[in-house]
């Protein structure tokens, strides 16, 4: 029996009352191939709530400072560096939301808010400085062949000299990975202009999750034997996608950045759906489920409940993510 057939058969077993959900899921995957053609790659606008509201206008403004960057790319860098934490400090003494080391800040920090000082801990200075530094690097490598944004990112990681020397992204694995990481993350911070590609792993992820229907909730649960096979919300979604070879972060607010963000009327089965008490900030997300169609998800709701079908159209619905392999791989292990 194929994975898809097994998924459909098992889905039907949940009862006639939800048979309409199965029909919607099957219908979506019948047309999925058609959706995969002509899909937009997204715009430089920011996805809803992906950047905390306190920084959104800064990122939108300074992300347009030069042609080598855009707001989504700048957001991806800030998220990768600090998770939008203005108080972040690394073991290497990188500081602030943009993680400048003191020497680089001394040379490239700018007074973004015009208050007379350059404060690495103030996002009003650090975010403009990150954009300014990107654009300065882009100017250093402007004559190198290839994509100017990728060359800029390579210069950020390996230095402008290496980009000039090799005529583009140098053959350093670390640098190549960095370029791919940021450009992949960029897609999760951009607001798509049209439908995004259906997930190749979605059906099997749903199949995994629906086999867990009726399992009691456990806060912090990962489904391990010592936990009695129990899950919490993000433990279930992580395990479901891990079953098809896609590794997601452990917590829901980081899972939101594992791919592009379809609109409510563009949801497909397998999309992750998120919920929050603050609809302006993805870092405040507190719950996640797997969309199955018909306005329903499979989720592990709370202590005392079991994994079940729940409606998604509630006041705390935040948005959705269409998980991609590259998007998941790009996510930092800690932010």
pLDDT of residue 334: 59
pLDDT of residue 103: 95
pLDDT of residue 333: 64
Residue 265: which domain range? 200-330
pLDDT of residue 193: 79
Total domains, the chain: 2
Residue 263 lies in a domain: yes
Distance CA 162, CA 166 (A): 6
* pLDDT per residue as tens digits for the range 177-210: 999 999 999 999 999 877 888 888 999 999 999 9
- The residue among 130, 158, 189 that closes a domain is 189
Q: Note whether 325 and 211 are same-domain residues.
A: yes
The full DSSP string for 9-32 is HHHHTT-GGGHHHHHHHHHHHHHH
Residue 321: CATH number of its domain? 3.90.1720.10
Residue 81: CATH number of its domain? 1.10.530.10
pLDDT of residue 244: 95
* pLDDT per residue as tens digits for the range 303-335: 999 999 999 999 999 999 999 999 999 998 655
Say how many residues make up the chain. Answer: 335
Distance of CA 299 to the CA centre of its chain: 19
Q: Note whether 148 and 214 are same-domain residues.
A: no
Residue 62 lies in a domain: yes
- 205: nearest Cα among 272, 296, 154, 276: 272
- The residue among 151, 169, 189 that closes a domain is 189
* 186, 200 Cβ separation under 8 angstroms: no
pLDDT of residue 335: 56
Q: Note whether 241 and 312 are same-domain residues.
A: yes
The residues, any chain, with a CB within 8 Å of residue 39's CB and separated by 6 or more, are 194, 195, 196, 197
Low-confidence ranges of the chain (pLDDT < 70): 1-44, 333-335
Backbone angles phi, psi at 264, to 5 degrees: -55, -40
Sign (positive/negative) of CA torsion 151, 154, 158, 159?
A: positive
Burial of 319 from C-beta contacts in 10 A (0-12 / 13-18 / 19+): buried
Q: At what angle do helices 202-210 and 233-242 cross, to 10 degrees?
A: 130
Q: Note whether 169 and 264 are same-domain residues.
A: no
Distance CA 303, CA 91 (A): 37
Residues forming the active site: 81
* 249, 241 Cβ separation under 8 angstroms: no
Backbone angles phi, psi at 243, to 5 degrees: -65, -20
């Amino acid at each position: 029996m194929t994975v898809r057939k097994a998924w459909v058969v098992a889905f039907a077993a949940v009862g006639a009352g939800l048979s309409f959900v199965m029909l919607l899921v099957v219908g979506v995957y019948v047309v999925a191939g058609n959706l995969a053609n002509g899909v937009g790659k997204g715009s430089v606008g920011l996805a809803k709530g992906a950047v905390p509201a306190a920084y959104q206008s800064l990122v939108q403004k300074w992300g347009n400072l030069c042609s080598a960057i855009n707001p989504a790319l700048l957001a991806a860098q800030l998220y990768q560096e600090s998770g939008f934490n203005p108080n972040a400090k690394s073991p290497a003494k990188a500081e602030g939301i943009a993680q400048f080391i003191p020497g680089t800040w001394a040379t490239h920090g700018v007074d973004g808010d015009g208050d007379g000082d350059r404060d690495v801990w103030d996002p009003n200075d650090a975010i403009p400085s990150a954009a300014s530094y990107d654009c300065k690097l882009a100017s250093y490598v402007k004559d190198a062949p290839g994509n100017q944004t990728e060359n800029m990112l390579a210069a950020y990681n390996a230095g402008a000299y290496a980009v000039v020397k090799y005529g583009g992204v140098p053959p350093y694995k670390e640098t190549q990975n960095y370029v791919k990481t940021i450009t992949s993350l960029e897609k999760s911070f951009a607001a798509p202009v049209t439908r995004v590609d259906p997930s190749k792993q979605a059906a099997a992820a749903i199949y995994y999750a629906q086999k867990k229907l009726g399992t009691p909730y456990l806060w912090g649960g990962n489904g391990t034997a010592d936990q009695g096979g129990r899950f919490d919300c993000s433990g279930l979604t992580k395990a479901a996608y891990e079953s098809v070879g896609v590794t997601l972060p452990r917590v829901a607010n980081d899972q939101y950045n594992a791919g592009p963000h379809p609109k409510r009327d563009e949801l497909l089965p397998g999309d992750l759906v998120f919920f929050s008490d603050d609809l302006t900030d993805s870092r405040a997300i507190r719950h996640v489920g797997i969309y199955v169609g018909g306005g329903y998800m499979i989720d592990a709701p709370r202590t005392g409940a079991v994994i079940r079908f729940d409606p998604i159209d509630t006041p705390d619905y935040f948005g959705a993510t269409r998980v991609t392999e590259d998007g998941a791989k790009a996510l930092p292990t800690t932010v």
